[in-house]
Amino acid sequence: MTSTAPRKKLTTSAMIASFADPGQRTTSAPFGHALNRLAEERPEIVGLSADLAKYTDMHVFRDAHPDRFFQMGMAEQVMLGAAAGMAEVGLVPFASTYSVFATRRAYDFLCLDIAEPGLNVNVVGALPGLTTGYGPSHQATEDLAILRGCPNLTIVDPCDSVDIEQAVPALAAAPGPTYLRLLRGAVPTVLDEYDYRFELGKAAELRTGRDVVLISTGLMTMRALQAAERLAADHVDVAVLHVPTIKPLDTAAILRAARTDRLVVTCENHSVIGGLAESVASTLAFAGAGTRVVPIALPDEFLAAGALPTLHDRYGLSTDAIVAKVRAELGRTGEEQPSAWAADPVPATA
């Protein structure tokens, strides 16, 4: 017998999949609500979107301030050019799209229209690194590598909702252009347990530890804190240094953290090429410190599509993968240590 009941439409959440753990505390659309609060205080704040307001949490601002929101359509270059013009006349634009489009597609407009004249335009890039299962067209695994070389540009990679809520007014107050790696939707709330306050250009030591220091940025700080708790059960004392500002980098804090006899591990949701690991390594090299750096990062390749938890396990971003990597490195203590760059920087699986 053939059923006449309507078939349930199959859907996928791969595009906007959450990286929050089951049961974890989250905050809904922290960027949108923070921008809305800021706009209540500052009438010069405006918002722009390249047809992705709902998927960058800009819809919260749009609904509250429709006269200050500009829908530019699927034209990221036009959006950044328009944002530059608005900044020229005293407005403070927040322009949102996916990171891949802001960096790969519209880089020249960001560089020459915004960064070269030093305009106060805040570019908000959603789906940074491996935060979607939709594959290379939407996975911005190299956005930091692209943008770190752009003069005048401040780059922020927040850990959680607390970071985002505090970063938004700080970015608006910064005189030049900024790029925010946006975590959108149901964003974990973590840093309120660590007496943390976002300060532009400053790193924050969230945990102290004598055996290992995890230098982390973005959502990987959440994973670093989880890994530190797990390793404590094995009597491994792990410090966590959160680096929310990638550029300008808090080199003083990094040197203080790394100039010890602890194992130094960097954790980032970005390619091993051109991101936090290389920033830390160059900081140490330029200072004449011979400290070895072990990177936990995405491999230098185009990544697969699939379910986000599976991808994080596969490419070494899960808490399990961090714990396994640290245990493996500590197990090699006393042996001749290979260069951090000579081997695969992340395990193929957790």
- How far is Cα 113 from Cα 89, in angstroms, rounded to an integer? 14
167-223: per-residue pLDDT in tens? 999 999 999 999 999 999 999 999 999 999 999 999 999 999 999 999 999 999 999
Task: Reply yes or no on whether the pLDDT at 224 is more than 60.
Answer: yes
Report DSSP state, residue 18: -
Report DSSP state, residue 341: T
Least confident of 77-86, 231-240, 331-340: 331-340
- How would you classify residue 243: left for phi > 0, otherwise alpha for psi between -120 and 50, otherwise beta? beta
Helix residue ranges, H only, the chain? 30-41, 59-64, 76-88, 99-100, 107-108, 143-147, 161-173, 220-232, 251-258, 276-286, 308-314, 319-331
Task: Reply yes or no on whether the pLDDT at 284 is more than 50.
Answer: yes
Superfamily of domain 26-188: Thiamin diphosphate (ThDP)-binding fold, Pyr/PP domains (3.40.50.970)
What is the predicted pLDDT for the residue at 314? 97
Mean pLDDT of 252-267: 97
What is the predicted pLDDT for the residue at 350? 34
Within 13 Å of residue 249, how many CA atoms lie on the same side as its CB?
21
Residue 145 burial by Cβ neighbours in a 10 Å radius (0-12, 13-18, 19+): middle
DSSP string, 190-253: -GGGGT----TT--EEEE--SSEEEEE-TTHHHHHHHHHHHHHTTT--EEEEE--EEES--HHH
User: Topology of domain 201-331, per CATH?
Assistant: Rossmann fold (3.40.50)
Q: Hey, do 26-188 and 201-331 end up sharing a CATH topology, with the first three levels equal?
A: yes
What is the predicted pLDDT for the residue at 334? 39
15-74: per-residue pLDDT in tens? 667 889 999 999 999 999 999 999 999 999 999 999 999 999 999 999 999 999 999 999
74-104: per-residue pLDDT in tens? 999 999 999 999 999 999 999 999 999 999 9
Enumerate the domain spans of the chain: 26-188, 201-331
What is the predicted pLDDT for the residue at 15? 62
What is the predicted pLDDT for the residue at 332? 61
The residues with which 71 forms a beta bridge, in sequence order, are 49
What is the predicted pLDDT for the residue at 303? 97
* Residues 6+ away with beta carbon under 8 Å from 167: 156, 158, 180, 198, 200, 244
